[in-house]
């Protein structure tokens, strides 16, 4: 390692150490990290002064800026460098509530396990609650065996301690919040086609539905919830925010909205500089039969509504999620704000890319059907059940994710590298 490289690496490690210790890096820690990178003892004296200078500089900048800068420098840090545990979480001393939220598309694979284990480790460390929340509010996108597969995997990976929440069992709660948002004038039912809504929103213009009164919106919400055709026999529809208006509705023998005719939208800022933030949808009609709920419900919350409601209701304190959810997190924060709730502490994780390993649930299901795999626990697959069968321990995944830490940079590993690391952690 030449001197220029060394200085760059010193800065990377100083930033990393500072972020780990609330903004203050320590010279000794940086030097010992550099030993792992090949710094020789006899050279310490020569570069020591330089390193102290770098540490001083780093300690002068804010934690936010340190994090930003570290994103650029992180690549310089050896992936195999042994970390001294996960960084501390703020406001965690009294315990934390955290979650892992898979969709029911298949069993857990190594990507899930590495992401979820970080949150689980924090709950282990500080005490509190760990939820596995199965996000099954899109009836069209559910692989029914996934419920049991995910529960089995969670039982093993999280020592039977994960509390299981199934979103489709909490529908009344989402309806309650939808109504709350309408009553706060922060949600409206939009009957524009998605093309015409998009056309307007691209020009930062509101559609006519946005100007409707709160009462009109509540009526329209009823029409979303109501079955499409009423017969006189159905006097009291099963649910709805306001029974009396439902009754009039029934007597009138009117029709509810059809699938695709109406969506509930959040009233954000129609001039938001990010078009994806403008009046995003909260709920829609989908009459497909749901594997658990069958045809009990026709209005389904979209992710940003159900996630927000659950994070509030389950009293989430810290959220660690994949960085592709950054925009969603911004939307969820808007809803939190309207409801006067404090948003949890949050962190993001970089994307995992596993070369030459099959992680796609669709492809695995297909492969099982075709007889290419004997099942989700086929030894050729990088699923948790397959690795459990091969004799790996849950701790090997915990150690692996602890080693990676709260890192936002994307990581690429091929099969050989992945198993080499996993084997190291399994032996420990």
Residues of span 205-234 touching Zn ion by CB under 5 A: 207, 209
Residue 190 Cβ, how far from Zn ion at the closest point, in Å?
3
Site membership for Zn ion, residue 19 (CB under 5 A): no
Q: Which window, 202-210, 228-236, 267-275, 397-405, contacts Zn ion (CB under 5 A)?
A: 202-210
Using rule CB under 5 A, residue 192 touches Zn ion: yes
Q: Among 70-78, 189-197, 271-279, 373-381, which window interacts with Zn ion (CB under 5 A)?
A: 189-197
194 versus 360: smaller Cβ distance to Zn ion: 194
Kindly state whether residue 387 participates in binding Zn ion, applying the rule CB under 5 A. Answer: no
Tokens for 127?
Answer: 């005490």
Closer of 206 and 287 to Zn ion (Cβ): 206
Q: Which SS3 state, helix, strand or coil, does residue 102 take? A: coil
| Nearer to Zn ion among residue 34 and residue 207 (C-beta) | 207
Closest distance to Zn ion from the beta carbon of 278 (Å): 12
Residue 189 interacting with Zn ion (CB under 5 A): no
Contact present, 102 and 164 (Cβ < 8 Å) = no
CB of 217 to Zn ion, least distance (A): 11
Burial label for 23, CB within 10 Å (0-12, 13-18, 19+), is middle
Identity of the residue, 223 or 325, whose beta carbon is nearer to Zn ion in the bound complex: 223
190 counts as binding Zn ion under rule CB under 5 A: yes
Sign of CA dihedral 152, 154, 157, 159: negative
Contact between 377 and 388 (Cβ < 8 Å)? yes
CA–CA dist 136, 26 (Å, integer): 46
Length of the chain: 428
Residue 226 and residue 237: Cα distance in Å, rounded?
7
**Total residues at the site for Zn ion (CB under 5 A)?**
4
From the CB of 204, what's the least distance to Zn ion, in Å? 15
Q: Which is nearer to Zn ion, 30 or 263 (by Cβ)?
A: 263
CB of 315 to Zn ion, least distance (A): 34
384 burial type by CB count under 10 A (0-12 exposed, 13-18 middle, 19+ buried):
buried
- The least distance separating Zn ion from the CB of residue 265, rounded to whole angstroms, comes to 8
Region of 129-137, 184-192, 353-361, 401-409 interacting with Zn ion (CB under 5 A): 184-192
Q: Give the DSSP H or E segment for 3.
A: helix 3-20
Q: Among 17, 93, 96, which Cα is nearest to 55's?
A: 17
Nearest residue (CB) to Zn ion, 53 versus 198: 198
Piece of 68-76, 182-190, 386-394, 412-420 that binds Zn ion (CB under 5 A): 182-190
Among the listed ranges 30-38, 183-191, 298-306, 327-335, the one in contact with Zn ion (CB under 5 A) is 183-191
Nearest Cα to Cα of residue 114 among 292, 343, 299, 320: 320
Rule CB under 5 A: say whether 264 interacts with Zn ion: no
DSSP structure string for 299-356: EEE-HHHHHHHHHHHTT--EEEEEGGGHHHHHHHHHHHHHTT-PPPEEEEEPPEEEET
CA 364/CA 378 separation, integer angstroms:
10
Q: Smallest distance from the beta carbon of 215 to Zn ion, in angstroms?
A: 17
| Residue 121 lies near Zn ion (rule: CB under 5 A) | no
Q: Which residues bind Zn ion (CB under 5 A)?
A: 190, 192, 207, 209
């Amino acid at each position: 390692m030449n001197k220029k490289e060394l200085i760059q690496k010193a800065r990377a490690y100083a930033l990393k150490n500072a972020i780990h210790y609330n903004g203050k890096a320590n010279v000794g820690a940086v030097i010992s990290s550099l030993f792992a990178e090949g710094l020789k003892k006899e050279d310490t004296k020569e570069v020591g002064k330089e390193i102290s200078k770098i540490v001083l500089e780093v300690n002068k900048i804010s934690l936010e800026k340190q994090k930003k800068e570290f994103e650029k420098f992180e690549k310089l840090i050896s992936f195999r460098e042994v970390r001294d545990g996960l960084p501390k979480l703020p406001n965690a001393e009294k315990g934390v509530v955290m979650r892992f939220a898979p969709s029911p598309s298949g069993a857990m694979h190594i990507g899930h396990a590495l992401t979820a284990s970080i949150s689980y480790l924090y709950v282990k460390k500080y005490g509190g609650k760990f939820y596995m929340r199965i996000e099954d509010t899109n009836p069209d996108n559910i692989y029914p065996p996934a419920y049991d597969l995910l529960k089995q995997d969670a039982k093993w990976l999280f020592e039977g301690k994960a509390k299981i929440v199934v979103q489709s069992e909490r529908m009344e709660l989402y309806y309650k919040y939808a109504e709350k948002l309408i009553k706060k004038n922060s949600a409206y039912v939009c009957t524009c086609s998605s093309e015409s809504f998009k056309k307007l929103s691209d020009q930062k213009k509101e559609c006519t539905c946005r100007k409707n009164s709160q009462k009109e919106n509540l009526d329209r919400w009823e029409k979303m919830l109501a079955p499409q055709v009423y017969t006189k026999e159905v006097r009291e529809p099963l649910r709805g925010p306001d029974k009396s208006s439902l009754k009039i509705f029934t007597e009138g023998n009117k029709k509810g909205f059809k699938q695709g005719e109406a969506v509930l939208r959040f009233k954000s800022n129609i001039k938001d500089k990010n078009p994806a933030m403008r009046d995003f949808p909260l709920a829609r009609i989908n009459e497909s039969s749901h594997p658990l709920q069958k045809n009990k419900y026709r209005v389904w919350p979209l992710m940003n509504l159900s996630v927000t409601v659950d994070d509030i209701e389950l009293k989430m304190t810290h959220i660690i999620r994949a960085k592709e959810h950054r925009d969603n997190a911004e939307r969820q924060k808007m809803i939190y704000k309207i409801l006067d709730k404090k948003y949890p502490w949050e962190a993001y994780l970089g994307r995992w890319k596993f070369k030459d390993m099959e992680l796609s649930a669709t492809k695995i299901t297909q492969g099982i059907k075709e007889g290419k795999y004997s099942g989700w626990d086929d030894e050729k697959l990088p699923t948790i059940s397959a690795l459990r069968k091969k004799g790996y321990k849950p701790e090997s995944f915990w150690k692996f994710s602890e080693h990676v830490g709260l890192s936002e940079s994307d990581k690429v590993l091929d099969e050989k590298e992945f198993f080499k690391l996993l084997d190291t952690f399994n032996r420990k």
